[in-house]
Amino acid sequence: MVLSQDGRYGAVTENRCVLVDGAEYAAAPCSGARMSFYHPGGTVAFRLVPRGWYSLPWWRDAARFGYWSNTATGIYSALFQDMPGIPDVKAWKKGAGADPEDDPFDEVRDW
């Protein structure tokens, strides 16, 4: 299992690119030309967001509104399917890997 720097959360371990609802989403362990958004790994709206670089901040609406949309759930499922150290979507929906006491994005953010 690959953990974040503080040892608690999973991390992106390989480059992934998926198409969800007509939009392309990518994740990578390192920054790159298309990877403008970094998440340090942690809990957003009671669910895990793995540490890594992303093409779009797919967790943004959950951070703003406190709940996960079906689209965000689809993005998580597609991006992290079978990625080592990352809970599958069923476990993720139940809060696996998340720490409700440590939600660094619990305030409204201006993305």
Backbone dihedral angles phi then psi of residue 44, each to the nearest 5 degrees: -130, 120
Name the average pLDDT for the chain: 84
Average pLDDT (13-23) is 95
pLDDT tens digits along 55-89: 999 999 999 998 899 999 999 999 999 998 888 88
> Which whole-number Å values give the CA distances from 5 to 52, 67, 83, 92, 104, in the listed order?
11, 26, 18, 20, 15
Structure-derived torsion over alpha carbons of residues 33, 45, 87, 6, reported in degrees to the nearest 10: 70
Q: With cut-offs at 50, 70 and 90, classify the pLDDT of residue 103.
A: low
Per-residue pLDDT, 21: 93
